[in-house]
Amino acid sequence: MPTALITGATAGLGAAFARRLAADGLSLVLVARDEARLTASAAELRKRYGVAVEVLPADLSLDEGIRRVEERLERGVDLLVNNAGFGHPGAFLEVPVADEVTMLRVHCEAVLRLTLAALPGMRSRGRGYVINVASVAAFFTRGTYSASKAWVVNFSESAAAEIPEPNVRVMALCPGFVRTEFHQRAAMDTSGIPDFLWLSADQVVDEAMRDLARGRRVSVPTARYKAIVSVGRFVPRTLIGQVSGRLGRR
């Protein structure tokens, strides 16, 4: 039975990936900090889909937490979804440096180390997939969050380019605004974001899985966000920074 390991698995895109992959018949390894919520999510998935679900409590902002997940990945999985992440409740110059470093550890160091822990087994078996959840913010300028997600995109593309096995794939997933707990947790005011820019978590996951099957190295769900990213490449970076700095937060 193929196995998928998902970080940040109890809410938002992580929970949507868990539902989709369980519906597809994969066994799951769910990773998150909140053990009680993790256990409840696992029980619901087992009951609804009849699949094996393992829980792995781990805080990816800590070296110990990353090591725990690395050890599980070294035992072998077929799909790794690096989804854990968060936003800051404040602009770049307002955020304590310790919080910025924590973001880099979760968004960059954990993604690097977990990807490298999973790939050797995948390559030896000649099959396996890694989805690193980035963001449309990666293509714009918005503090450490967008900078860290730009790293995820570049890293994923670079890793994919160096893997000779055709059935071992690494893909960066770059969604736009998704209706999850993310913005509430980051204390972001989303009242100024137009309705047409919002996506559902299930929609994002469905498009991600299609793009992964097609061998895409970067997935930008929906035509509207593909257009936004394309236009953004031709807009001066200073203007992009001014606009993105105002959008979604007052």
* Of 155, 179, 144, 172, the residue nearest 229 (C-alpha): 172
Active-site residue flag, 145: yes
Catalytic residue (choose from 47, 49, 129, 145): 145
Type of residue found at 207: E
CA 182 vs CA 52, 84, 126, 179: distances in Å: 27, 11, 35, 8
β strands within the chain, DSSP E: 3-7, 27-32, 53-57, 79-82, 128-133, 168-173, 177-178, 198-199, 218-219
Catalytic residue (choose from 129, 149, 225, 226): 149
Active-site residue flag, 149: yes
CA 7, chain centre distance (Å) = 8
The SS3 call for residue 111 is helix
The residues annotated with a catalytic role in the active site are 145, 149
